[in-house]
């Protein structure tokens, strides 16, 4: 049995309490969630959540089956079984002590394509998106200057695109 | 029409004619509507009993059991009953009142977060905020409770929703995109299962609670194929214990033959069971030589504890006949010879001492009814003795709390079963400890004059706890003694208006049992039995199935399993 990180997408019906059910299930069965993000999907009334869960394959199989048992859960996908793209968003507030620091921080941020979203006399807030490695590298760089606070959304993921045009969803006429 | 009436009408449309419940402030509108409703309401004396009665109503009949309770304490009292039903896959719909929506979240009088509290102990639950949703929610609740792997569903109905004017329709469509139980076994898996069974030389079939709904298919399969059948505690009655092929109960207090068969078999065909730890013992020592074919309707049970080599997700009623078609009768005479030898070596036995022992009382009840009755039990030693010595012949007639092991289940379950199967004798086998956990239901028994005989095996102690303390805690008996403060159960019965008997010896027992049964009305028989009797065989918790203690600390002398030595 190998312990590995799994990225899972769960589509759920937008019902009150559905997150409590999922969180309760994880807690009750002793599964550890590393990150979790939830928001509306392309379909009204349906939310897509992305979990990063750590555990042995057998444990993950149980997670998946138990999630699938929840009535409001529509679909569970373990992305480790196929190719997927994933991103994370981070807001990070970095201390600026000297004008030299300011220049250097901005230079590093540029290399990371981090956007400045707030400027203050003694701090800068950056928005960084990307994969986990990029987040961690940026955090490591900023530690030298002093991180005031940061927040990360946790990973969001989608399977890579279908190559079959037949399987694309129908669209409303674009002529109008 | 108000929401409360809409609820009752929706229940009627699902064939509900009996509801177990207890009123209170937040569910008053429903009880007001009940006043004019054809639905029969059975007033229990504690909400927990209402949930157990509804649970047993389903188990005894296959019809969804329904219970009502008020908000707050009424609803929290249901929780044990819901958890019991959830663990044993019983279809229950519970309706609770709640404080008005404007008060929810304000710590109002008799408010509790029932939706949150019951989510982990139900298959699904609802908090209804719009009165017009009632018919859809009821339809979904019945659908979810009774299909796939059955389970309890709770509907929480705030008081203002019960009182609101209903403008909806009763012709509703169920919309559950996330709920599609797999009923049909995958053809490839069924084929693989057939191959595995065909290749086996020492196969056993293990039937659990799922067998209660598929008893005909289980029997047809087993008889046609000649496979030995083990029935778990939840599977009792799914295959008649008296049949030659029955090896009976496995696990902690199972038969020697069943447990040896597990250790020595080369294939387990698991049917509608979840390989509970009381069945498997230490997993690494469970059926070490067996290929496991696991047929269950709940995919989450497959390979949860015991790894299934051939999983088949589906309804037994659908899968077993197809599996039977794919197989000839099994040629396993050598295996049968071995099993018969074990059966002969280890018949059910116990020593009759003075005073009475529990086992002989149960056998007396078994003989007096011919096994043709519904048995319910409480939880403890008497439950295991009943499973061993009072196996019923038909499905849905041995009703016991297996998974949760709920003391206090048996008496309300007897009431629920009596309503589910009118005209049938019900026997409750109870201990003096657990019967007191819902003893107030003697009033319900009296009121409805149900044909329930309550047999209390009164050993004056919490027997199972005593047994563990004797065997595993160096006889440090801690808080098990009841005899010094037990009531006089016969007098207690009389106080409730019931016939009550105290029985001290076997002559009286032999005389009282048939007499009480013949009356066809409720009675309590209090049998004073030997305090220190223990349930054997026993697999100590955490030990392997092959580490069974057969008699009083006498180890099973069977050799450790060696595939080269057992008959091939």
Q: Clarify whether residues B340 and B372 are in a common domain.
A: no
Q: Clarify whether residues B341 and B364 are in a common domain.
A: no
What confidence tens digit (pLDDT) does each residue in B382-424 have? 999 999 999 888 999 999 999 999 999 999 999 999 999 999 9
Q: Do A13 and B177 touch (CB under 8 A)?
A: yes
Contacts of B446 (CB under 8 A, 6+ apart): B496, B497, B498, B522
Domain membership of residue B541 (yes or no) is no
Interface probe, candidates B98, B175, B178, chain A, greatest A C-beta count within 10 A: B178
Cβ of residue A17 closer than 8 Å to a chain B Cβ: yes
Q: Clarify whether residues B118 and B24 are in a common domain.
A: yes
Residue B179 has pLDDT above 60, yes or no: yes
Task: State the average pLDDT over residues A62-89.
Answer: 90
**And the tokens for B13?**
């449309």
How many Å apart are CA B58 and CA B79, to the nearest integer?
17
Nearest Cα of chain B lies from the Cα of A57 at a distance, in angstroms, of: 12
Residues B267 and B238 sit within 8 Å (Cβ to Cβ): no
Domain membership of residue B385 (yes or no) is yes
Q: Do B177 and A68 touch (CB under 8 A)?
A: no
Sheet with B18-21, strands from edge to edge, namely B40-43, B18-21, B65-69, B92-98, B152-158, B124-127
Q: What is the band of A17 on the pLDDT scale with cuts at 50, 70, 90?
A: confident
Domain membership of residue B171 (yes or no) is no
How many Å apart are CA B54 and CA B142, to the nearest integer?
13
Residue B558 has pLDDT above 60, yes or no: no
Chain A CB contacts of B179 under 8 Å are: 71
Residue B554 has pLDDT above 80, yes or no: no
Identify the burial level of B187 via C-beta atoms within 10 angstroms of its C-beta, where 0-12 means exposed, 13-18 middle and 19 or more buried.
Answer: exposed
Q: Do A74 and B177 touch (CB under 8 A)?
A: yes
* Residue in this structure with the two tokens 């194929």, named with its chain if needed: B225
DSSP string, A141-160: HHHTT-EEEEEE---EEEEP
Residues forming beta bridges with residue A8, ordered by sequence position: A51, A78
pLDDT of residue B563: 40
Specify the DSSP class assigned to residue B504: -
Q: Clarify whether residues B20 and B108 are in a common domain.
A: yes
Residues A3 and A55 sit within 8 Å (Cβ to Cβ): yes
Q: Clarify whether residues B368 and B437 are in a common domain.
A: yes
Q: Which residues of B carry out catalysis?
A: 47, 109-110, 159, 464
Residues B69 and B36 sit within 8 Å (Cβ to Cβ): no
Q: Clarify whether residues B141 and B197 are in a common domain.
A: no
Q: Which of B291, B277, B295, B285 lies closest to B217 in space, CA to CA?
A: B295
DSSP string, B414-443: HHHHHHHSTT--EEEEEETTGGGGSGGGHH
Residue B331 has pLDDT above 90, yes or no: yes
Domain at A85-157: CATH architecture? 2-Layer Sandwich (3.30)
Domain membership of residue B566 (yes or no) is no
ipTM value for the complex: 0.87
Q: Do B178 and A21 touch (CB under 8 A)?
A: no
Nearest Cα of chain A lies from the Cα of B113 at a distance, in angstroms, of: 12
How many Å apart are CA B78 and CA B97, to the nearest integer?
12
Chain A CB contacts of B176 under 8 Å are: 71
Q: State the virtual CA torsion across B210, B394, B85, B358 in degrees, nearest 10.
A: -120
pLDDT of residue B559: 44
- What is the domain range of residue B59? 3-163
The CATH number given to whatever domain includes residue B250 is 3.40.50.1220
What value, to the nearest 5°, has the Cα angle with vertex B256 and ends B253 and B258?
A: 90
What confidence tens digit (pLDDT) does each residue in B481-490 have? 999 999 999 9
CATH 3.30.70.260 fits A3-82, yes or no: yes
Q: Clarify whether residues B381 and B439 are in a common domain.
A: yes
Q: Which of A69, A175, A169, A102 lies closest to B144 in space, CA to CA?
A: A69
Cβ of residue A30 closer than 8 Å to a chain B Cβ: no
Q: Where are the domains of chain A?
A: 3-82, 85-157
Q: Clarify whether residues B379 and B240 are in a common domain.
A: no
Q: Clarify whether residues B256 and B399 are in a common domain.
A: no
How many Å apart are CA B323 and CA B195, to the nearest integer?
10
Task: State the average pLDDT over residues B251-255.
Answer: 95
Same fold? A3-82, A85-157: yes
Identify the burial level of B407 via C-beta atoms within 10 angstroms of its C-beta, where 0-12 means exposed, 13-18 middle and 19 or more buried.
Answer: buried
Interface of B with A (CB under 8 A): 115-116, 119-120, 123-124, 127, 144, 176-179, 298-300, 303-304
Of the candidates A28, A65, A73, which has its C-beta nearest B299's C-beta?
A65
**And the tokens for B431?**
């201990």
Q: Clarify whether residues B295 and B368 are in a common domain.
A: no
How many Å apart are CA B321 and CA B351, to the nearest integer?
43
Q: Do A62 and B300 touch (CB under 8 A)?
A: yes
Which of B77-86, B339-348, B524-533 is the least confident region? B339-348
How many Å apart are CA B263 and CA B158, to the nearest integer?
54
Cβ of residue A44 closer than 8 Å to a chain B Cβ: no
Strands B374-377 and B398-399, bridge-based pairing: parallel
Of the candidates A17, A58, A61, which has its C-beta nearest B115's C-beta?
A17
The average confidence (pLDDT) of chain B is: 95
Structural domain total, chain B: 3
How many Å apart are CA B446 and CA B152, to the nearest integer?
28
Contacts of B202 (CB under 8 A, 6+ apart): B261, B264, B265, B266, B267, B332, B335, B338, B566, B567, B568
Q: Clarify whether residues B81 and B131 are in a common domain.
A: yes
The CATH number given to whatever domain includes residue B515 is 3.40.50.970
Q: Do B178 and A71 touch (CB under 8 A)?
A: yes
Q: Which of B324, B286, B330, B80 lies closest to B198 in space, CA to CA?
A: B330
Q: Clarify whether residues B325 and B368 are in a common domain.
A: no
pLDDT of residue B567: 38
Instruction: Give whole-number Cα distances, B26 to B31, B101, B190, in Å.
Output: 10, 11, 51
């Amino acid at each position: 049995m190998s312990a590995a990180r799994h990225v899972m997408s769960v589509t759920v019906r937008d019902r009150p309490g559905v997150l409590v059910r999922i969180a309760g299930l994880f807690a009750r069965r002793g599964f550890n969630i590393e990150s979790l993000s939830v928001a509306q999907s392309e379909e009204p009334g349906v939310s897509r959540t992305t979990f990063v869960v750590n555990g042995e394959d057998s444990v993950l199989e149980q997670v998946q089956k138990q999630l699938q048992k929840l009535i409001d859960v529509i679909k569970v996908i373990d992305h480790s079984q196929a190719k997927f793209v994933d991103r994370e968003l981070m807001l990070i507030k970095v201390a600026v002590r000297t004008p030299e620091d300011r220049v250097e921080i901005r230079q590093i941020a540029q290399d990371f394509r981090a956007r400045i979203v707030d400027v203050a006399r003694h701090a800068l807030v950056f928005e960084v998106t990307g994969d986990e490695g990029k987040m961690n590298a940026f955090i490591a760089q900023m530690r030298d200057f002093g991180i005031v606070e940061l927040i990360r959304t946790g990973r969001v993921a989608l399977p890579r695109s279908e190559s079959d045009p037949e399987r694309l969803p129908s669209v409303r006429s674009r002529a109008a | 029409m108000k929401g409360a009436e809409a609820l009752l009408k929706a229940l009627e449309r699902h064939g509900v004619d009996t509801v177990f419940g207890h009123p209170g402030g937040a569910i008053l509108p429903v009880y007001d509507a009940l006043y004019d409703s054809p639905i029969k309401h059975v007033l229990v004396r504690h909400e927990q009993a209402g949930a157990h009665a509804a649970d047993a109503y389903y188990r005894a009949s296959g019809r969804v059991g329904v219970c009502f309770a008020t908000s707050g304490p009424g609803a929290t009292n249901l929780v044990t009953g819901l958890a019991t039903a959830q663990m044993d896959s019983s279809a229950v719909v519970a309706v609770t009142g709640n404080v008005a929506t404007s008060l929810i979240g304000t710590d109002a009088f008799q408010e509790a977060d029932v939706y949150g509290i019951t989510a982990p102990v139900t298959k699904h639950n609802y908090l209804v905020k719009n009165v017009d949703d009632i018919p859809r929610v009821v339809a979904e609740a019945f659908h979810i409770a009774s299909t796939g792997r059955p389970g309890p569903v709770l509907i929480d109905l705030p008081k203002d929703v019960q009182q609101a004017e209903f403008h909806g329709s009763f012709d509703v469509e169920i919309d559950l995109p996330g709920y599609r139980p797999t009923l049909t076994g995958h053809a490839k898996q069924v084929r693989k299962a057939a191959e595995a069974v065909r290749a086996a030389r020492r196969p056993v079939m293990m039937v659990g609670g799922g067998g209660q709904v598929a008893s005909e298919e289980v029997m047809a399969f087993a008889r046609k194929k000649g496979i030995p059948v083990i029935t778990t505690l939840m599977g009792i009655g799914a295959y008649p214990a008296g049949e030659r092929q029955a090896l009976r109960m496995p696990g902690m207090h199972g038969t020697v033959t069943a447990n040896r068969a597990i250790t020595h078999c080369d294939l387990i065909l698991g049917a509608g069971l979840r390989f509970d730890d009381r069945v498997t013992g230490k997993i690494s020592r469970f059926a070490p030589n067996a290929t496991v074919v696991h047929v269950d309707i709940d995919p989450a049970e497959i390979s949860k504890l015991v790894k299934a080599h051939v999983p088949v997700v589906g309804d037994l009623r659908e899968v077993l006949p197809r599996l039977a078609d794919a197989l000839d009768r099994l040629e396993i005479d050598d295996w049968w010879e071995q099993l018969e030898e074990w059966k002969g070596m280890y018949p059910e036995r116990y020593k009759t001492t003075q005073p009475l022992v529990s086992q002989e009382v149960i056998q007396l009840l078994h003989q007096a009814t011919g096994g043709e009755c519904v048995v319910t039990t409480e939880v403890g030693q008497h439950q295991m003795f009943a499973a061993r010595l009072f196996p019923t012949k038909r499905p849905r007639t041995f009703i016991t709390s297996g998974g949760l092991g709920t003391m206090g289940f048996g008496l309300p379950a007897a009431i629920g079963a009596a309503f589910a199967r009118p005209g049938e004798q019900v026997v409750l086998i109870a201990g003096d400890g657990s019967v007191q956990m819902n003893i107030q239901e003697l009033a319900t028994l009296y009121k409805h004059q149900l044909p329930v005989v309550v047999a209390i095996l009164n050993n004056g102690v919490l027997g199972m706890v005593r047994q563990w303390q004797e065997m595993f805690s160096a006889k440090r008996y801690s808080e098990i003694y009841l005899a010094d403060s037990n009531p006089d159960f016969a007098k207690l019965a009389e106080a409730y208006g019931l016939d009550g008997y105290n029985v001290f010896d076997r002559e009286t027992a032999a005389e009282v049992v048939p007499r009480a049964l013949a009356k066809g009305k409720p009675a309590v028989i209090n049998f004073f039995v030997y305090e220190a009797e223990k349930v054997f065989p026993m697999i100590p918790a955490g030990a392997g199935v092959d580490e069974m203690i057969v008699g009083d600390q006498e180890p099973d002398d069977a050799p450790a399993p060696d595939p080269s030595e057992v008959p091939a």
